[in-house]
């Protein structure tokens, strides 16, 4: 190489320095010539070997480099005047037929006052670039695993400071990565969880990947969120340099768990505790009571005639009403009393630390609460309930025994007029036969001649005369003794036996009527109770006709009592009632006012008589609401041209009221209990 400038030595020194700094790169020094060309005044070994062209020994750059390379280089060279700090770029140069990437670095170097020289470096980056790309790819891959992880992930360094946080962190905890980076992770952990967190961290830095099931992590809005944490140590060259923390919000999981717990111990319709909860709580309660020598009271509640409501309202509204009822009942429960839904319309209260007085007081409050009306779809409904009460430890220590005895007491109440409560007593035991057994006895009741009919007179309130009776079925079983209709009619209905039994009743009544007719007694009418199942038979009217014909009974001597619940299907009902009307029998609506059906049917159906249910007659002389209802029913019936019979009349005051309200007829204990036929014949037929 030649050095043609005066201060060649200085340049040489520089070049020497330069060459030693960059021993593996191609380095060149170029000088600008007067006619805007460049001379290559220095090229190191690599540069010279790479670019030296065969047969050319000129310093002129255009000779030194191949034409196209020099064109590229010169282009950059010319830009240098505007880049005082040097110019860096990448260019591709052929290496063994392949293009490889090089870093091109150009710098103007001023040495004394000389025209500045240009330092050019070419560094082959191909290998490095490939590695860098690979690294970048790996890094990106790795980062995308972290970034796109649905679980929040943070990475901490050896000091426990957060160095990375993925986007999921903000979804779960509200913090964006820039808000947490640089902060200590433990600062986000709830005080209570810090000890176990520190242990987790310690073990993670020992290289263990472990998890923490229960921990609370801060949410940006200030509260703590339950989380599951898992550590993944970051191991570089066999050394743990940091730890990734996977932090999963477990509140939905916990919610599910709680939901599951909730569902298994609560009734889905009413939200009350269910039977399973009752069993478990009661076991605990009795254990506690035994330790502390205390009493527990079990109040078994059954809604009166709820089946009727369900039948006539339909199940949706029935459910709605049940919810209202349970809400109201539940308002009475507190720290010492809990309410459970035992089944359909049965509820159980468990009262702790109770006494006979407090339980009685409680039962009275329940009765009173239920006395107030309920509203469903803007309709007012009245319900009543019967309650049976058993007491721990007097009536038993086992839960099953206590429930059974409360149920027996309940049964006793149901049997004796409902809407009240009773404490269990030993003698109730006998009045509580097993239903399945009872059904099997009932099946043979007709052939065993255990059934009979009692008649209750219906009194004309104006004249005091009697020309009609209600036939009421009686069952005297050899095992159970007298069983009341309230006990066996539901069993007969459920088992379907009611069809056969009901038919038997009609036969008996018609037989009786024909006997009276044959004996020449004055015309009498007998009302027969017809169960909904009976009434809904397609052949019902036809059957009645056949029986009347068989005994030669005048159709208007027979009255059929139908409850509102039997008349849910308007079209079918109308067709049967019309058929009955055609035959000529008298039609009455029994228990009017308790069936919750629409009043519009009164207008459409050919009904002759309305029987006001005894629940409205009870206390009519003092209960202004009942009085108003009774008066309204009488008024309504009269306007529609129907007769009214009041049921359950027990007192003179009720008679007075009914007379004043212009009710035509009444039946009840005040006049006569239902009595056997002989008594009727003797008393009223002569
Ligand atoms: P129901 O048709 O409303 O009959 C009136 C019930 O009230 C009868 O009860 C009667 O004994 C009772 N009673 C009458 N006067 C009074 C009174 O002044 N005070 C009180 N507290 N009660 C009074 P019973 O005989 O126990 O019958 C109960 C229910 O069983 C009847 O209610 C009826 O729905 C049903 N039933 C009775 N016999 C038959 C039957 O042959 N077939 C069908 N399907 N059901 C029947
Ligand atoms: Mg009746
Ligand atoms: Mg009735």
Residue-wise pLDDT for 396-426, tens only, equals 988 888 998 998 898 888 777 677 899 998 8
- The verdict on the CB of residue 526 being under 6 Å from ligand 1 is no
* Of 400, 431, 462, the domain-final residue: 431
The closest-lying atom of ligand 1 relative to the alpha carbon of residue 530 is 44
- The verdict on the CB of residue 489 being under 6 Å from ligand 1 is yes
State whether 518 and 663 are in the same domain.
yes
* 568-579 average pLDDT score: 90
> Can you say how many angstroms the Cα of residue 203 is from the centroid of all Cα atoms in its chain?
42
State whether 368 and 494 are in the same domain.
no
Would you mind telling me the total number of residues written for the chain in this entry? 686
- The verdict on the CB of residue 590 being under 6 Å from ligand 1 is yes
Specify the residue with its C-alpha closest to ligand 1, atom 45: 529
Which of these ranges, 32-46, 378-392, 622-636, has the smallest mean pLDDT? 32-46
- The verdict on the CB of residue 666 being under 6 Å from ligand 1 is no
Domain membership flag for residue 93: yes
CB under 5 Å of ion ligand 3: residues: 590-591, 647
Is 186's pLDDT higher than 90? yes
Domain membership flag for residue 267: no
The answer for 165, left when phi > 0, alpha when psi is -120 to 50, beta otherwise, is: beta
d(CA 335, ligand 3 centre) in Å: 41
Specify the residue with its C-alpha closest to ligand 1, atom 17: 648
* Of 211, 229, 258, the domain-final residue: 258
State whether 292 and 385 are in the same domain.
yes
> Tell me, what's the pLDDT at 432?
54
Domain membership flag for residue 263: no
Looking at the chain, the whole-number percentage of residues with pLDDT higher than 90 is 45
Domain membership flag for residue 284: yes
Is 606's pLDDT higher than 90? yes
Q: Which residues contact 630 (CB under 8 A, 6 or more apart)?
A: 612, 616, 617, 620, 646, 657, 658, 661, 663
Here the CATH number for the domain that contains residue 391 is: 3.30.70.270
State whether 532 and 609 are in the same domain.
yes
Give me the domain span that covers residue 640: 440-685
**pLDDT level of residue 7 (50, 70, 90 thresholds):** low
State whether 350 and 403 are in the same domain.
yes
State whether 655 and 680 are in the same domain.
yes
Is 5's pLDDT higher than 50? no
d(CA 529, ligand 2 centre) in Å: 5
- The verdict on the CB of residue 47 being under 6 Å from ligand 1 is no
- The verdict on the CB of residue 456 being under 6 Å from ligand 1 is yes
- The verdict on the CB of residue 484 being under 6 Å from ligand 1 is yes
End-to-end CA distance of the chain: 159
Of all ligands present, the nearest one to the C-alpha of 613 is: 3
Q: Which two tokens stand for residue 33?
A: 């010539």
Mean pLDDT score of the chain:
87
CA atoms within 13 A on the CB side of 333: 20
Beta strands in 237-345 (DSSP E): 239-249, 296-303, 337-343
Choose among 442, 557, 564: nearest CA to 506: 557
Which of these ranges, 5-9, 229-233, 439-443, has the smallest mean pLDDT? 5-9
> Tell me, what's the pLDDT at 524?
94
Choose among 19, 57, 26: nearest CA to 39: 57
> Tell me, what's the pLDDT at 2?
40
State whether 631 and 651 are in the same domain.
yes
Q: What is the Cα–Cα distance from 142 to 164, expressed in whole angstroms? A: 13
d(CA 531, ligand 1 centre) in Å: 12
Contact 212, 189 (CB under 8 A): no
CA angle 140/142/145 to nearest 5° reads 105
- Give me the residues paired with residue 592 across strands: 612
> Tell me, what's the pLDDT at 6?
45
Q: What is the Cα–Cα distance from 516 to 535, expressed in whole angstroms? A: 27
- The verdict on the CB of residue 649 being under 6 Å from ligand 1 is yes
Q: What is the Cα–Cα distance from 480 to 445, expressed in whole angstroms? A: 12
Contact 52, 26 (CB under 8 A): no
For strands 586-592 and 609-612, give the pairing. Answer: parallel
State whether 105 and 245 are in the same domain.
no
- The verdict on the CB of residue 233 being under 6 Å from ligand 1 is no
Is 19's pLDDT higher than 60? no
Is 13's pLDDT higher than 70? no
- The verdict on the CB of residue 672 being under 6 Å from ligand 1 is no
State whether 417 and 391 are in the same domain.
yes
Domain membership flag for residue 135: no
Here the CATH number for the domain that contains residue 648 is: 3.20.20.450
Q: Can you tell me which residue has the tokens 């320095």?
A: 17
- The verdict on the CB of residue 486 being under 6 Å from ligand 1 is yes
> Tell me, what's the pLDDT at 87?
84
Contact 566, 532 (CB under 8 A): yes
Domain membership flag for residue 270: no
* Of 431, 463, 495, the domain-final residue: 431
Is 18's pLDDT higher than 60? no
- The verdict on the CB of residue 648 being under 6 Å from ligand 1 is yes
Which of these ranges, 112-116, 120-124, 640-644, has the smallest mean pLDDT? 112-116
Q: What is the Cα–Cα distance from 170 to 208, expressed in whole angstroms? A: 27
Domain membership flag for residue 136: no
Is 4's pLDDT higher than 60? no
Q: 401-420 burial by CB neighbour count: b if 16+ within 10 A, else e?
A: ebbbbbbbbbbbbbbeebbb
Q: Using the 8-state DSSP alphabet, how is residue 420 labeled? A: S
Domain membership flag for residue 495: yes
State whether 520 and 649 are in the same domain.
yes
Of all ligands present, the nearest one to the C-alpha of 593 is: 3
Which of these ranges, 53-57, 474-478, 561-565, 643-647, has the smallest mean pLDDT? 53-57
Q: 28-42 burial by CB neighbour count: b if 16+ within 10 A, else e?
A: bbbbbeeeeebbbbb
Return the percent helix, strand and coil in the chain, to nearest 5.
Answer: 45, 25, 30
To test the pocket of ligand 1, the residue of 307, 416, 456, 472 to mutate (highest count of ligand atoms within 8 Å of its CB) is 472
Instruction: Report the run of H or E that residue 10 belongs to, with start and end.
Output: helix 8-21
> Tell me, what's the pLDDT at 1?
42
State whether 198 and 252 are in the same domain.
yes
Contact 644, 633 (CB under 8 A): yes
Angle between helices 435-443 and 497-518 (to 10 degrees): 40
> Tell me, what's the pLDDT at 539?
92
Here the CATH number for the domain that contains residue 181 is: 3.30.450.20
> Tell me, what's the pLDDT at 35?
74
Q: Which two tokens stand for residue 568?
A: 């849910």
Is 468's pLDDT higher than 90? yes
Q: Using the 8-state DSSP alphabet, how is residue 294 labeled? A: -
Domain count for the chain: 4
State whether 625 and 657 are in the same domain.
yes
Contact 266, 272 (CB under 8 A): yes
> Tell me, what's the pLDDT at 588?
96
Q: Using the 8-state DSSP alphabet, how is residue 379 labeled? A: E
To test the pocket of ligand 1, the residue of 420, 454, 475, 529 to mutate (highest count of ligand atoms within 8 Å of its CB) is 529
Collapsing DSSP states into helix, strand and coil, what is residue 4?
coil
Q: What is the Cα–Cα distance from 152 to 481, expressed in whole angstroms? A: 74
- Give me the residues paired with residue 225 across strands: 217
Dihedral angle at the C-alpha atoms of 545, 547, 549, 553, nearest 10 degrees?
A: -100
Neighbours of 479 (CB within 10 A): 10
Which CA distances in Å does 653 have to 555, 619, 656, 661? Answer: 35, 9, 5, 12
Instruction: Report the run of H or E that residue 256 belongs to, with start and end.
Output: helix 251-265
**pLDDT level of residue 65 (50, 70, 90 thresholds):** confident
């Amino acid at each position: 190489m030649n050095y043609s400038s005066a201060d060649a030595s200085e340049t040489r020194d520089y070049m020497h320095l330069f060459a030693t700094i960059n021993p593996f790169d191609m380095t060149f020094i170029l000088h600008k010539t007067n006619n805007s060309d460049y001379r290559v005044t220095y090229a190191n070994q690599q540069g010279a070997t790479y670019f030296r062209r065969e047969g050319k020994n000129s310093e002129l750059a255009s000779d030194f480099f191949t034409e196209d390379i020099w064109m590229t280089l010169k282009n950059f060279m010319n830009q240098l005047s505007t880049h005082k700090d040097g110019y860096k770029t990448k260019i591709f140069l052929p290496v063994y037929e392949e293009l490889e990437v090089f870093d091109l670095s150009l710098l103007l170097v001023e040495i004394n006052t000389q025209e500045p020289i240009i330092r050019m470096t070419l560094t082959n980056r191909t290998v490095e670039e490939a590695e860098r790309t690979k690294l970048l790819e790996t890094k990106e891959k790795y980062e995308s695993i972290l970034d796109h992880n649905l679980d929040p992930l943070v990475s901490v360094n050896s000091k426990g400071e957060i160095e990375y946080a993925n986007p999921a962190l903000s979804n779960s905890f509200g913090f964006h990565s820039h808000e947490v980076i640089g902060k200590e992770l433990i600062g986000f952990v709830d005080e209570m969880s810090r000890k176990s967190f520190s242990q987790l961290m310690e073990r993670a830095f020992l290289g263990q990947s472990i998890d923490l099931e229960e921990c609370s992590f801060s949410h940006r809005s200030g509260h703590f969120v339950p989380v599951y944490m898992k550590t993944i140590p970051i191991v570089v060259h066999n050394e743990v340099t940091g730890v990734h923390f996977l932090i999963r919000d477990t509140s939905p999981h916990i919610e599910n768990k709680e939901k599951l717990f909730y569902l298994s111990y609560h009734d889905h319709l009413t939200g009350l505790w269910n039977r399973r909860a009752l069993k478990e709580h009661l076991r605990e309660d009795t254990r506690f009571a035994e330790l502390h020598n205390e009493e527990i009271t079990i109040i078994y509640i059954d809604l009166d005639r709820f089946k009727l409501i369900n039948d006539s309202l339909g199940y949706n509204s029935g459910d709605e009403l049940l919810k209202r009822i349970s809400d109201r009942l539940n308002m009475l429960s507190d720290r010492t009393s809990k309410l459970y839904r035992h089944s359909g319309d049965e509820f159980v209260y468990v009262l702790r630390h109770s006494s006979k007085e407090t339980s009685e007081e409680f039962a009275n409050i329940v009765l009173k609460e239920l006395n107030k009306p309920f509203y469903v779809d803007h309709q007012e409904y009245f319900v009543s309930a019967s309650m049976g009460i058993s007491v721990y430890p007097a009536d038993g220590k086992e839960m099953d025994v206590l429930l059974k005895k409360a149920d027996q007491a309940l049964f006793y109440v149901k049997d004796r007029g409902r809407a009240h409560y009773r404490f269990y007593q030993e003698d109730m035991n006998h009045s509580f036969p097993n239903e399945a057994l009872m059904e099997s006895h009932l099946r043979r009741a007709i052939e065993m001649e255990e059934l009979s009919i009692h008649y209750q007179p219906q009194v004309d309130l104006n004249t005091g005369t009697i020309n009609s009776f209600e036939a009421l079925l009686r069952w005297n079983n050899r095992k159970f003794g007298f069983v009341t209709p309230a006990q066996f009619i539901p069993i007969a209905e459920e088992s379907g036996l009611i069809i056969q039994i009901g038919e038997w009743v009609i036969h008996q009544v018609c037989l009786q009527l024909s006997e009276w007719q044959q004996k020449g007694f004055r015309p009498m009418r007998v009302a027969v109770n017809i169960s909904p199942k009976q009434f809904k038979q397609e052949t019902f009217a036809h059957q009645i006709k056949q029986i009347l014909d068989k005994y030669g009974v005048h159709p208007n001597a027979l009255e059929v009592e139908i409850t509102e619940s039997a008349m849910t299907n308007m079209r079918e009902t109308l067709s049967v009632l019309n058929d009955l009307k055609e035959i000529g029998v008298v039609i009455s609506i029994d228990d009017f006012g308790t069936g919750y059906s629409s009043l519009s049917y009164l207008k459409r159906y050919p009904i002759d008589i309305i029987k006001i249910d005894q629940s409205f007659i009870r206390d009519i002389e003092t209960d202004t609401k009942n009085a108003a209802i009774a008066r309204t029913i009488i008024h309504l019936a009269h306007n529609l041209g129907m007769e009214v019979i009041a049921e359950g009349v027990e007192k003179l005051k009720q008679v007075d009221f009914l007379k004043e309200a212009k009710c035509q007829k009444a039946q009840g204990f005040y006049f006569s209990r239902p009595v056997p036929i002989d008594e009727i014949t003797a008393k009223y037929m002569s």
